[in-house]
Amino acid sequence: MSEKKSIWSKIGNTLIKNNVTVLFVLLCVGAFFASTYTLPSLFTELFTRLGRNTFLVLSLLIPVVAGLGLNFGIVIGAIAAQIAIFLVVHWGFTGFSGILMTVLICTPLAVLFGFLVGKLFNSMKGTEMIGGLVAGYFSDGLYQLLFLVILGGVIPINNSTLMISTGMGVKNVINLKDNLRYAIDEVSMLSIINVAFYAGILIGVILIVYRLIKKQDLQLKKLLTVLIPVIALYGISYVPAIRTFLSTPRLMLLNAVELGVIGVALFNIYKLIRLTAIEKKQGVPIKQLLYIAGAGAVYASTYISVIYQSLCAVHLPVLTFMLIGALCLFMPWLMNTKLGQDMRTVGQNRAVATSSGINVNRVRIIAMILSTVLASYGQLISLQNIGTVATYGSHQQVGLYAIAALLVGGASVQHATVKHALLGMVLFHTLFILSPNAGQQLLGNAQIGEYFRVFVAYGVIALALAMHAWSNRGPKKQRGTLVR
């Protein structure tokens, strides 16, 4: 009896601990049934929004780890991206080269901005969040000054499509239709494979040359074991059927799931064979078998008609999701480096960090630079998907919605992971998509749903900050009782 009880109380505890997330799951389910949305139509919109905004949300993680809290200052990263986009559009770059050019311009800008914000935050330790919020407003003001007065007013810019007809100030919409729109989204898998292949070969050659110069062991055998399968795989891409599949600009979600399932299954079968045949480990490798069974189950579920339809309705922008995936992998990797460990230490306790020889201010500035740069890339990804830049508005709500999404996923001011970001994105945007429609159905007014989602965004942030304040009061009390 008592065991049963403890299991229930455990479940209860986890539910209470993740109260915000649980509430959102319930809201999402409720809103879904109240709305006229079908699963396929929801999926289509959801994945569009995921592609657009996930990168931005992930850019919030590093400052949380480094103890800087929720970085409302990512607005400044977004501003860097928009300045770069304006210049690139003005100079007439298009397509992927335009994107590269934008990255080239916005990276140094974002580094500079991140450095300045980091400096600011270092002189206001403990109140970074309000500082970030105000710094965001302040930089918005400077940005408006730049775009309304200086561009055209001080720096002559001859461009009738971008500038207001008086010649001073930038129009309030920059259209990306003929230059940057979908420039990242619609890079085909074939081009990605091509670029990756040649880049790989180049790195291999450089490595060999480097080792020759330094007179190190060439490790040719190791290189070849990597190179041969890569070349073989590359060769496969020349098979006509595969080639046409790879050249489509986007990937159907169904195919992505299939590829994923095959990948997971193959990897685990390989591991299984290695464990039993080569390393001769005793016992049944349950973990691998479970993975394979899971992959099979997922594949089988694609034959359910609702799921099948939903998966067919979504066409993924391949490179965008690859970039998001890469960032998701980058975070744990970074945390496993000396720099990442320093960030965690600084985030947990600055006094301990200082006394163990970590340069706290430097680590915090690095965290802010990384976050700002990633935020600027995130804004770039988002804008190229939307296809228009609202010159004076696109950046304004970026921080608010990204932070709300992160918090919905169960993150807090001190603790946020990739998982929180991804889960939060799904929940927050599901509700975002559904609420106007649900409002229309339930109350006959879409506007109410609209209000509701804005209310929810602010409400979640307020709740998280209140809970942060609460939990901050806890430890003090503990110290008092320590003497007993």
Partner 1 sequence: MEETYALRMEHVSKNYGDNAVLKDVSLSVKPGEIYALIGENGAGKSTLMNILFGMSVIRDTGGFDGKVIIDGVEARFNSPNDAMAAGIGMVHQEFMLIPGFTITENIKVGREDTIPTLASRIFGKSLEKLDNKKMNADARKALDSIGMDIDQHVRVAGLPVGYMQFVEIAREIDKENIKLLVFDEPTAVLTESEAKGLLSVMRSIAKRGIAIIFITHRLSEVMDVADRMTVLRDGEVVASKNIIDTDIPEIAELMVGRRIEKLVDENETHYTHSDEIALKIRDFQVDMPGETVNHIDLDIHKGEIFGIGGLAGQGKVGIPNGIMGMFPAYGEVEIFGEKLQFSKLGDALHKGVACVSEDRRGVGLLLDESIENNIIFNAMTIKREYLTGLGFAHLVNAKKVRAFAKEMIKTLDIRCTGPQQRVGSLSGGNQQKVCLASALALNPRLLIVSEPTRGIDIGAKKLILEHLVDLCRNHGLTIIMVSSELGELRSICDRIAIVAGGEISSILAPDAPDVEFGLAMSAARVSQEVS
- The least CB distance from residue 205 to partner 1, in Å, is 16
- 212 vs 443 by CB, closer to partner 1: 212
Cα→Cα distances 302→30, 196, 297, 299, Å: 24, 30, 9, 5
Residue type, 31: A
- The least CB distance from residue 359 to partner 1, in Å, is 10
- 168 vs 227 by CB, closer to partner 1: 227
Q: Cβ(60)–Cβ(406) under 8 Å?
A: yes
User: Comparing C-alpha atoms, which of 173, 72, 136, 139 is closest to residue 393?
Assistant: 173
**Cβ atoms < 10 Å from Cβ of 477:** 8
- The least CB distance from residue 226 to partner 1, in Å, is 13
CA gap 356, 28 in Å, rounded: 46
Residue with tokens 């479940």: 11
- The least CB distance from residue 461 to partner 1, in Å, is 23
Residue type, 236: I
- 265 vs 346 by CB, closer to partner 1: 346
- 358 vs 402 by CB, closer to partner 1: 358
Q: Cβ(50)–Cβ(425) under 8 Å?
A: yes
- 90 vs 344 by CB, closer to partner 1: 344
Residue with tokens 């163990």: 356
- The least CB distance from residue 325 to partner 1, in Å, is 18
CA gap 387, 390 in Å, rounded: 10
The structure tokens listed for 262 are 């095959």
The sign of the CA dihedral 356, 358, 364, 369 is negative
Backbone phi, then psi, for 160, in 5-degree steps? -70, -25
- 16 vs 351 by CB, closer to partner 1: 351
What string of DSSP letters covers 144-209? HHIIIIIIIIIB----TTTB-TTSSSB-SEEE-TTTTTTTTTT--HHHHHHHHHHHHHHHHHHHHH
- 264 vs 339 by CB, closer to partner 1: 339
- 234 vs 330 by CB, closer to partner 1: 330
Q: Cβ(413)–Cβ(469) under 8 Å?
A: no
Contact residues toward partner 1 (CB under 8 A) are 336-339, 341-342, 344-345, 348-349, 351-353, 355-358, 476-477, 479-484
- 226 vs 290 by CB, closer to partner 1: 226
CA gap 436, 450 in Å, rounded: 5
- The least CB distance from residue 207 to partner 1, in Å, is 10
CA gap 416, 62 in Å, rounded: 9
- The least CB distance from residue 326 to partner 1, in Å, is 13
Residue with tokens 């998982």: 419
Cα→Cα distances 135→116, 118, 120, 129, Å: 10, 11, 9, 10
- 189 vs 353 by CB, closer to partner 1: 353
Q: Cβ(296)–Cβ(265) under 8 Å?
A: yes
CA gap 25, 124 in Å, rounded: 37
- 126 vs 260 by CB, closer to partner 1: 126
Q: Are strands 173-175 and 315-317 parallel, antiparallel or unpaired?
A: unpaired
